Structure 1
C-alpha cells in the first residue's frame, strides 16, 4: 500500500471520528431549543439534499431494483437510520453527550455479536474479551459506579433509549453487508435518508410535543449552525470520509477509528460547557482498551509470524 495514501486515509478517518463525536454535544446543545424530532427532520432533510446534489454531480445512477428489493432497502433503512436517530436524539434530551457517545462506541462490537447470533457462530476469544471489558466500562459510567443500580437495573431513561438506537444501527450495519452486494452505498444511503425523513415526519405529525414548522421559524442562528453541522458534517461529510478511509485501509482497520468518537465527543462537550466527569473518562479508557487490545495482540502475533 502507498504510505502517503494510508496517511491521508488515517487523517480522513480521524476527521470523520471528530465529526461524529462532535455531533453528540452539538446535538445536545440544539436540543435546548428544538425538539428531538425537529432536529432529526432537519438532519435528514439536509443530508438528503446534500447526497442528492452529490449523486447528480458524480452522475451516480440509481439502480433498478425489484419490488421486494426496494421493500427490503426501505424497511432496513427505517429500522436502522430512523431507529438510530430517533433513539439517539430523543435519548440525548435526557442524558449527556459523553454517555451517548460511549454507548454508540459499542456499535462495532454489537454488530459482530449480531452476526455471530444470526449465523450461529461462536465468538472468538478476542471478541468475548472485548465484549466483557467494553460492557464493564459502559456499565461503570451508566450506573455511576454504584453496583446496586446494576443489580436493580436502574439506568437513566435517556441511556436506555440511546442503547436501543445503537442496537437498531448495529442490526442495520449487519444487514447492509448483504444489501451492498446489489445496491451501491451512496444511493442506498440517500434512500435511507429519505426513508428516515418520511417516518420521523409521520411520528412528529402525531406528537403533541414536537412542532417542527413553528420551531424552525423561531430558530436562532446558533442552533441553525448546530443543525447544519450535524446534517452536513456529522452525516454526509462523515459518511463520505468513512467510505474513503475504508476503501484504503479496509473495514477492520477503519473500525478502530470509531474508538475516537467518544473522545472527540468529550472534548467537544467541554467547549460547550457540558460536564465530563472523571468516571466517564475512566469508562472511555476501559472501552477503548477493550476494543484495541485484542487487535493489537493479533497484529503482534502476525508480525512475529512473518519475522519467523
Structure 2
C-alpha cells in the first residue's frame, strides 16, 4: 500500500502540475529545464543527507542505463513534447503518454526475470482506455503522429531503462543520478542554442514554476515513482500513470472551475477499475 500511495502521489503531482507548466511556454526551454534538473539534484542531495539516506554510486554498466533514463526519459521526452505541440493538439501527445502502461506491462516483467501477467495486461488496456476518455482526442498531422510515438517510447523508457539498476541503486540512487545527468545534458544544449543570457529572460512566474517543477515534480515525484517501481514491479507501478490525467482533470475543476463531462467521469471510473484489477495481480515467474 505504501508503494501504491507513493506511485499515485507521484503521478498525481505530475498531472496536477500541468497548470504550473504554462508559465514556461514562452521561456527558453533548455535553459529552464537545465535549471529545473540542477535544482532537483541539489534538493535530492540535501534531502538524502538530512534523512541519512545512503545513495550508492553507479558502476560499470549502471552508467549506460542511467544515461538512457536521462536522455530518453527526460531530454528527448521534453523536446518531443515541445516539438509535438506544433503539429498535434496537446491531447494527442497526452494520449500517447497514457499508452505507456501497455508497453511496460509487456517488457517490464521480462527485464525483471518474469513473464507478462494477463491480468496486468488487461488492466493496462482498461487504464489506457480510461485515460484516453479523460484526456480526449485531438487532431494531428503525420509529423505530430510520429512525435507522439516518440513521446510514448520515451515515457515507457523512463521506467524500463531504470529496471536493470533500481535493485542495486534504489529509488534515491536512480533519481539523483538520472536528474543530475539530465541537468548536464540540458545545459550542454542550452549554452550553444540559447546562450548564457537566456537565463535573464526568465520572469518571476517562470522562476516560480521552475522551483515547483524541481522540488515537487522532479525530486519528490521521481523518488516516489521509482520506489513504487521497485516495490510493485514496473508493470503494476506503471498502471498508476492513469492517476495523472485524472489529477489534471480534477485540478482543472479546482483552478479553472471547468466541470468534466460524462465521458471524463466514465474515463475516471475506467482508470479506477483498471487499477483495482492490475494492482491485485501476482508475479508470474519465467
| Normalised-by-shorter TM-score class | 0.7 to 0.9
Gaps of at least 5 residues in structure 2 are: none
**TM-score, L = length of structure 2:** 0.73
Quick one: distance in 1 between partners of 2:237 and 2:161? Answer: 19
1:283 positional shift:
8.1
Quick one: distance in 1 between partners of 2:164 and 2:80? Answer: 24
Quick one: distance in 2 between partners of 1:224 and 1:205? Answer: 18
Give the match for residue 3 of structure 1: none
1:80 aligns with 2:66: no
User: Comparing 285-294 with 53-62, which one deviates more in the overlay?
Assistant: 285-294
1:56 positional shift:
2.8
1:231 aligns with 2:251: no
What aligned pairs does 1:114-153 form with structure 2 within 5 A after superposition? Answer: 114-115=107-108, 123-130=116-123, 132-133=125-126, 143-144=137-138
Q: Could you tell me which of 156, 166, 187 is aligned with 2:173?
A: 187
Quick one: distance in 1 between partners of 2:41 and 2:238? Answer: 25
Quick one: distance in 2 between partners of 1:212 and 1:230? Answer: 22
Quick one: distance in 2 between partners of 1:171 and 1:60? Answer: 26
Change (3 A) 1:135 1:30: same
1:54 aligns with 2:47: yes
* Deviation digits for residues 81-113 of structure 1 (CA, Å, limit 9, x no counterpart): 333333345546776666555443333332122
Change (3 A) 1:74 1:189: same
Q: 8 Å contact 2:119–2:277 — kept in the other structure? A: yes
Secondary structure of 1:180 counterpart: helix
Q: Could you tell me which of 173, 194, 218 is aligned with 2:201?
A: 218
Quick one: distance in 2 between partners of 1:117 and 1:11? Answer: 25
Q: 8 Å contact 2:10–2:225 — kept in the other structure? A: yes
1:201 aligns with 2:194: no
**TM-score, L = length of structure 1:** 0.69
Quick one: distance in 1 between partners of 2:116 and 2:96? Answer: 21
Quick one: distance in 1 between partners of 2:81 and 2:254? Answer: 21
1:162 positional shift:
5.1
Change (3 A) 1:143 1:255: closer
Q: 8 Å contact 1:103–1:166 — kept in the other structure? A: yes
Gaps of at least 5 residues in structure 1 are: 1-5, 300-308
Q: CA RMSD in A?
A: 4.2
Q: 8 Å contact 1:134–1:286 — kept in the other structure? A: no
Secondary structure of 2:168 counterpart: coil
Q: 8 Å contact 2:242–2:271 — kept in the other structure? A: yes
Quick one: distance in 2 between partners of 1:244 and 1:119? Answer: 15
Change (3 A) 1:125 1:227: same
Change (3 A) 1:267 1:36: farther
1:19 aligns with 2:22: no
Q: 8 Å contact 1:24–1:97 — kept in the other structure? A: no
1:189 positional shift:
1.6
Quick one: distance in 2 between partners of 1:276 and 1:98? Answer: 17
